[in-house]
Amino acid sequence: MIKKILVIGGTGMLGFPVAKQLKADGYKSDILTTNPDKAAEKFGDGFDYVSGDVKRESELNKTLKDYEGVHISLNSNSYKDLHEIEVKGCHNIINALEGSEVKKITLISGLGVSEANTHIPFIKAKMEMENAIRNCGIAYTIFNCTHFMESIPLYIRNGKAMVMGKQLHKIHWLAAEDYARMVSKSFELKESDFKNYSVIGPGELTMEEVFNQYIEKKDPKIKITKVSLGMLRFIARITFNSKLNYLVDLMQYFDTTPEKYNSQNFPESLGLAKTSLNEWLSKGNP
């Protein structure tokens, strides 16, 4: 029986809700971080913060021997991090599992991740991570998630909500608390082993519609600003801003690619997402 789980990326926007849910459900939930003191200062002393870096396999070898479950929630904001942290980090984690007691791995991935889309660099990276986990021989559950409500405030700066490109596609926005509940439940249910799940929220909204609801609920002074991807790409190029360049590529993908999911892969046994955007906003989320 799995009792002790290490959350890798547990100080991130989507990793910490999982660590919190696992703890609430009775698991020993520890967080791997490169800076335990900083993490403890931010999130409190309710967790054990384990020092480690996914870029250093030797550190992971020692750490992972103490766990029966691992949740991987790696993120990047540049192509360099995509390779060094997500892809290589995932391979380092899997290599370090040899000789450990880990019986189950869970991973957050993207909704559009498929072999058909591997011509797109960040999709190719996610696909490589998924394949590495599928081939490691340990039980896994991979969560292919849509856009998270928690990302909405990231688009708002200095009283402006930025729509990058047209972004006309409807999206089933997902609350991290619903996703975290699914991850936690997957460590309990054997039927979730060796599965990929498509994870979406209950309602469809464009980015502009989301901003309108956010503004109405949070701050009527916020103004929606539309910026062309061409202009952002020009700025990224002349300023040598690798993070902006990565973001523009990501938004270009979202701008041209509608949300795709397989309803046959919904995680019904884990409980489908129910939190609407209005409910999420009413709970005091930023």
- Would you call 36 exposed, middle or buried from its count of C-beta atoms within 10 A (0-12, 13-18, 19+)? middle
For the chain, 286 residues long, the average pLDDT of each consecutive 10-residue run is 95 96 97 94 91 92 92 95 96 94 97 91 96 97 98 95 97 98 98 98 96 95 97 96 96 94 94 97 85
Distance from CA of residue 46 to its chain's centroid? 22
d(CA 117, CA 162): 27
| Pairing between β-strand 171-172 and β-strand 204-205 as defined by DSSP bridges | antiparallel
Q: What is the pLDDT of residue 46?
A: 87
DSSP string, 138-157: SEEEEEEE--BGGGGGGGEE
Distance from CA of residue 243 to its chain's centroid? 18
Q: What is the pLDDT of residue 66?
A: 87
Question: Per-domain residue ranges for the chain?
Answer: 4-147+174-200+260-273
Q: What is the pLDDT of residue 187?
A: 98
Residue 249, both tokens: 């590529």
Q: What is the pLDDT of residue 251?
A: 96
Q: Is domain 4-147+174-200+260-273 annotated with CATH 3.30.565.10? A: no
- Classify each residue of 208-230 as buried b or exposed e, where b means 16 or more C-beta atoms within 10 Å of its C-beta: eebbebbbeeeeeebebbeeebe
Q: pTM of whole model > 0.75?
A: yes
